[in-house]
Amino acid sequence: MTPSGDMSIVSLVLHASLVVKVVLSILIALSVISWTLIFQKWFQVRRAERATEDFEKRFWGGAELGSLFEGAQMRREKSGPEEKIFAAGMSEYTKLQGKGFDSAHLLDGVKRAMRAVYQREMDSLEAGLSVLASIGSVSPYIGLFGTVWGVMNAFTGLSTLTNASLAVVAPGIAEALVATAIGLFAAIPAVAAYNFYATATGRLFNRFDAFTEEFLNILERQRR
């Protein structure tokens, strides 16, 4: 690119060196993955929150455990995480109730069944968060590598010129700095989304834990 050449972002990218273009391609791919995960997690977390609110309203609204259990079994595929945890515990309670177990062993079995489903739901809600964290932490360094490489090329090219000036080297440096800008463009939304969803899922897990303890207390009172 000549000193009087087009300095638009598109032109800078098109005239960048091969290494910088590869770096930019990687960063754009990471950004696409990041935004895909951001939207997927948004819908998943919002569905889990709405389903949890709906189930807790029914559970604490005075509905019988038997009718809640029947409803959870009928819409097993559409149940929210907390309702699945409840259904697992209630199913285990129903199986063990007539086998002569004392309360401690029965409730321990119920707790294990609920914990297994809780862990699966937790893994599902946390899926993709590690990818967002990795993109957020790695993207700036990938962009910095492209910048360093581009700046190196720009200054190396000066050795072949007899009349070196800032106007000559500026386009090459500008091309290199685009890599840093795109690296930040990929990293910032990923970091922000990771923090948001980690907090949101953490609140859900606390609600699931609290519900599990309350449900076990209800079953224990029924056994007395």
The more confident residue out of 28 and 99 is: 28
pLDDT of residue 104: 82
Question: Model confidence at 170, in pLDDT bands (50, 70, 90)?
Answer: low
Average predicted confidence (pLDDT) for the chain: 84
- End-to-end CA separation in angstroms for the chain: 84
Q: Find the mean pLDDT for residues 114-139.
A: 93
> What pLDDT is recorded for position 77?
76
pLDDT value at residue 1: 46
Q: 92 pLDDT exceeds 80?
A: yes
Which two three-digit tokens encode residue 122?
């937790």
Per-residue H/E/C for the chain: CCCCCCCCHHHHHHCCCHHHHHHHHHHHHHHHHHHHHHHHHHHHHHHHHHHHHHHHHHHCCCCCHHHHHHHHHHCHHHCCHHHHHHHHHHHHHHHHHCCCCCHHHHHHHHHHHHHHHHHHHHHHHHCCHHHHHHHHHHHHHHHHHHHHHHHHHHHHHHHHCCCCCHHHHHHHHHHHHHHHHHHHHHHHHHHHHHHHHHHHHHHHHHHHHHHHHHHHHHHHHHHC
156 falls in which pLDDT band (50, 70, 90)?
confident
* Residue 98 in tokens: 């007539």
Give me the percent of the chain exceeding a pLDDT of 90: 45
pLDDT(67) > 90? no
pLDDT tens, residue by residue, 181-208: 889 999 999 999 999 999 999 999 999 9
The domain spans of the chain are 9-223
Q: Environment class of residue 67 by beta-carbon count within 10 Å: exposed (0-12), middle (13-18) or buried (19+)? A: exposed
Is residue 2 over pLDDT 60?
no
| Residue 12, pLDDT score | 63
Residue 219: band (very low, low, confident or very high) from pLDDT cuts 50, 70, 90: confident
pTM for the model: 0.81
* pLDDT for 40 beyond 70: yes
pLDDT score for 160: 63
Distance (Å, rounded) from C-alpha 113 to C-alpha 167? 70
